[in-house]
Structure 1
Amino acid sequence: MKLIASEQGIYLLFKPLVKTEAIIVHQDQVVAAGSYEKLSTMPGISEETVFKKPLGPGFVDSHLHLDSLGFEALTKELHGRNIPSILEELKHYSRKIGEWKISGRLNPIYLEEGRMPVRSEIDKYLGNDPVLIVHQSGHVGVLNTLGVERALTILGNSEGLDVETGYIYESSLWKLLAHIRSQAGEGELAEAFSKGFEILQSNGVSAIGLAGIRLKELEALLEFYKREKVAVRTYAYVLVDELINKREELRKVLSQEYPRGLSVRGIKILIDGALGPRTALLRNDYSDAPGVRGMCNVSMDTIKEALKFSEENGLQLAMHAIGDAALDIALDALKSSANPGVHRIEHASLVRDDQLEPIKALKPIIVVQPRFILSDKWILSRVGQGRIRWVYRFKTLSRITTLVLSTDSPVEPVAPFETIYAAITRGLRDGIEYGYDHSSEALSILEALDSYTRGGAYALRDERLGCLLPGCYGDIVEYSEDPLKVKNIGEIRNINARLVSS
């Protein structure tokens, strides 16, 4: 048994707040908690570690993309200020998967042009290989001419592909990305997984929800877990396309025996897109694009089929719904569920007042990404002044259902205290002027910590996560300073966390 103590104390739970001096961990589980004086005299202690910094439970990031996180960390970031400089960088430093040149995700808000490049611009710099540049949101990308030609062959049609600009949207982009990543060898996937886990561990994340994985990647991850000692627990959500197209193969995958730390938790379905590229589904037009209301990626029949399969197989359905109209579809689908509170709604970025009552009645788990507040600087122009108070309604949602914090990494950085900072400040310290219009939706530091630990445990349906009480996993994080003793709220984002025991 291991005795672990801290000179500044150990947080066992944040809501209610429980703190102690020491804990004992045995075979991956906390078996005792209390004073150092009492626990240090217990028989059977084989190892003792006393930390100088405060400790707490591992963070649970229930919505991210491990392979993308790893691949993009292994790909040189683009730092150019305009499209020509970005493309010049890409020409010399881009990573290849098979024949494809792939960039890290690009946020056009930081470019002088304020937009993604188009096909003809990429051709001037990169014409000999198919090229794909993915928008920061992951819901739109852009191809060069050779990339467009390859995409038409791979997809079989031009649906979701603007041949003139090279822009490729939503499900068509995801199908193309799946094809490209299928060309990655086992070694490349393993390298991406390894890098992703390294980043997570160094940021104090002890458990993750894979928000959409294909069966081939899941099989590669399974082999990785069998070969390597992995400190991070992984709960996978398989993309609904695999259910529709490979049902029997999926059944076999579900019946497999998995190693410690890896399991399949559910089915992921993307109802709409993202607000940035205006593909999130809204009930009314985008304020800066009259006549545009976004895209619906899936039929209600497919959602209900996925819901039925999930409930028959003891799984969760995780529904991506950013726009308010997409949220309508998700809530309507859950009305036919025998146990709607088991299932998840991802993002819920725009929630109307009339949607609060059905959310309260159905009580789905709502998994949000507070860092979007700081990144989505254009959101007022997208939704307008009349809808801005419906954006990222964390406090309101936390009062009527289970609210869970996550990152959607690599869309947003993994760093937990960056996410917590966004949840409690709402952008008011970062020049987000419209933050005053919804400042009442800010969470307290304790609420944010709880939603990022125990909330994540609830989202992943594993009550042993996100706490250090006896019976919980011994996943311990060391903080660079005590988050509950920071005097200046702006300093929260500067706290570092690292996983020290798992």
Structure 2
Amino acid sequence: MTAPADLLLTNAEVHTLARPDETHDAVAVRDGRITRVGDAYELDFLAGVDTRIVDCDGRVVLPGFIDAHTHFELLGRKLVHADLSGAESRVAAIDRLRDRADAVPAGDPVVGYGYDETEWGESDYLTRADLDAVDAAGPVVAVREDLHVASLDSTAVERFVDDLSEAGVRREGGEPTGVVVEGAAGAVLDALAPDAEGTAELLRAAQRYANERGVTGVHDMVRRSHAPRVYRDLDAADELTLRVRLNYWADHLDALVETGLRTNHGDGRVRVGAIKTFTDGSLGGRTAKLSEPYADAPDERGEWTVPPAEFRDLLDSAAGAGFQVAAHAIGDEAVGDVVDAFATRPSTDARHRVEHAELASDAAIDRMAEADIVASIQPNFHRWAGEDGLYAARIGDRRTETNRLGRLADAGVHLAFGSDGMPLDPLVGVHHAVNAPTADQRLGVTEALRAYTLGSAYAGFDEDRLGTVEPGKYADLVVLDGSPWERPGEIREIDVTLTVVDGEVVYDGSDP
């Protein structure tokens, strides 16, 4: 006799994403696994006395979303501190920082995350003169959305600049402007890092936010943080409501090797992922490494944050120790170099990853496909692809060559979608993938959803247990209140009504 289900989602439109156009009416779950997918009438017989039955009223059921590239602690910081994303002007950003200053004890740092000057129709970052207007007793720091730029008021300049790399401190007339970039920006973020208790507060806030958006798993980029310990503590206490792959920064490699870890180690909901490294910077900061000059800075072609020879040494060390490698590369020169390095190193299902690959050339894309390299892409970056967007300002007509999702898919490259926290919202990313400006940049609805589910699962060696709605897989599911196929131009307006992890409801939009 078949045992009753623990959870039954019925009267639904279940898209398995395992095969094109495969849909069913219901999903049955027992012991955290999907046991049956099929006709609602038949599966309703699996309902027992203790079965939780969810009548989906025709809503869409999908595999849970997996964000393949995010910074979860920073998401928590944005939620707890000043959120500068969406500020409509420089003045509005300053006002949000003032509000934060009023909320913290006098003398404590006032920190905001996520500003984007291009949303204001401007090209200049926030400066110390801007932030001095906050008039706070303690230091004021505003972090740009890409995390490659931080802006400091005069108090923060006095506190931090002497300890930062000279190359990362922007100056005019010999004096710091308050703008710091790349490693210097990272050092400021490190100086503002919370303790373990504070980290737990941030991660709890971040996972609530993520669950509300249908996220059931994240690949978190972690460095010098209490996050790995906190994640495991939350998991042990049954308080972790999503799956986590820890992609450790490269400066953790020696410690990870000493402790005997490698990619895919771990159990429960926390596992070791890749070794993460940079190679170049960002287009927003004009530090992405390009083969041709920036349109708005003809003498600049970006910079290496990790030079090619150093990157190859790291790749050999990490891969030799059993680690997948995830390399940040944005400019075409950086992407080409990373792809060449991956392709010339012998591997057995290494699944090395190029993070971002924003300006990948045709040659790099084709080689990625041949070498089974994963493209870890952020489709929400298409928000900058319009005629008046950031890409047009920085690289002119080459804006149409950015984030060519369709070209990558047609070449057969493994696509894994993430957000980079800009914002963390898979349906926003899917919307931008489906509605991108050119055919080479666009995907169909099914392809885009698969990249945010099965594609991200593949990037994390999880395709046998996650990413589709099939019997035997973990019951990580999301219910939407509208169909992306029926509303392709409004996907980002669709709400999540239910999120399930391991068969447990971790978010219910019907709860008051």
Do the two structures share a fold, i.e. TM-score over 0.5? yes
**Mean Cα displacement is larger for which, 252-261 or 122-131?**
252-261
Could you tell me which residue of structure 1 aligns to residue 510 of structure 2? none
How many angstroms apart in 2 are the aligned matches of 1:217 and 1:48? Answer: 33
1:364 corresponds to 2:364: no
Could you tell me which residue of structure 1 aligns to residue 473 of structure 2? 472
1:348 corresponds to 2:357: yes
Could you tell me which residue of structure 2 aligns to residue 274 of structure 1? 282
Amino-acid identity (%): 26
**Mean Cα displacement is larger for which, 332-341 or 443-452?**
332-341
The answer to whether the 8 A contact 2:12-2:24 is kept is no
1:439 corresponds to 2:439: yes
How many angstroms apart in 1 are the aligned matches of 2:198 and 2:225? Answer: 16
How many angstroms apart in 2 are the aligned matches of 1:291 and 1:330? Answer: 24
Shift of 1:252: 2.3
Shift of 1:27: 1.9
- Seen in structure 2, the aligned counterparts of structure 1 residues 44 and 111 have a Cα distance that, compared at 3 Å, is closer
The answer to whether the 8 A contact 1:205-1:498 is kept is no
Superposition TM-score, scaled by structure 2 size: 0.87
Equivalent residue letter for 2:37: A
Equivalent residue letter for 1:241: D
**Mean Cα displacement is larger for which, 207-216 or 37-46?**
37-46
- Seen in structure 2, the aligned counterparts of structure 1 residues 235 and 27 have a Cα distance that, compared at 3 Å, is same
Matches within 5 A, 1:62-461: 62-78=68-84, 81-94=88-101, 99-111=108-120, 114-126=123-135, 128-155=137-164, 157-163=165-171, 164-181=176-193, 184-243=194-253, 247-248=254-255, 251-252=258-259, 254=261, 258=266, 260-339=268-347, 342-376=351-385, 377-385=389-397, 387-400=398-411, 401-409=413-421, 412-426=422-436, 435=437, 438-461=438-461
How many angstroms apart in 1 are the aligned matches of 2:212 and 2:185? Answer: 31
Q: Deviations over 1:297-345 (max 9, x none)?
A: 1133432333234323432111111110110221122133222761111
How many angstroms apart in 2 are the aligned matches of 1:363 and 1:257? Answer: 22
Instruction: Give the length in aligned residue pairs.
Output: 481
Shift of 1:257: 7.8
How many angstroms apart in 2 are the aligned matches of 1:465 and 1:83? Answer: 42
How many angstroms apart in 1 are the aligned matches of 2:221 and 2:471? Answer: 29
Equivalent residue letter for 1:69: L
Could you tell me which residue of structure 1 aligns to residue 64 of structure 2? 58
Could you tell me which residue of structure 2 aligns to residue 491 of structure 1? 490
Shift of 1:262: 0.8
Shift of 1:213: 3.5
The answer to whether the 8 A contact 1:306-1:317 is kept is no
- Seen in structure 2, the aligned counterparts of structure 1 residues 145 and 43 have a Cα distance that, compared at 3 Å, is closer
- Seen in structure 2, the aligned counterparts of structure 1 residues 140 and 462 have a Cα distance that, compared at 3 Å, is same
Shift of 1:414: 2.4
Equivalent residue letter for 2:72: L
Gaps of 5+ in 1: 427-434
**SS in structure 2 of the partner of residue 404 of structure 1:** strand
Q: Deviations over 1:16-71 (max 9, x none)?
A: 33222223222221122222333344598841413222312101111111111111
The answer to whether the 8 A contact 1:60-1:465 is kept is no
Q: Deviations over 1:103-139 (max 9, x none)?
A: 1221112336542222233234336422211112211
Gaps of 5+ in 2: 502-512
Root-mean-square deviation (Å): 2.6
Q: Deviations over 1:279-308 (max 9, x none)?
A: 111111001111111121113343233323
- Seen in structure 2, the aligned counterparts of structure 1 residues 191 and 3 have a Cα distance that, compared at 3 Å, is closer
How many angstroms apart in 1 are the aligned matches of 2:321 and 2:34? Answer: 30
**SS in structure 2 of the partner of residue 366 of structure 1:** strand
- Seen in structure 2, the aligned counterparts of structure 1 residues 493 and 84 have a Cα distance that, compared at 3 Å, is closer
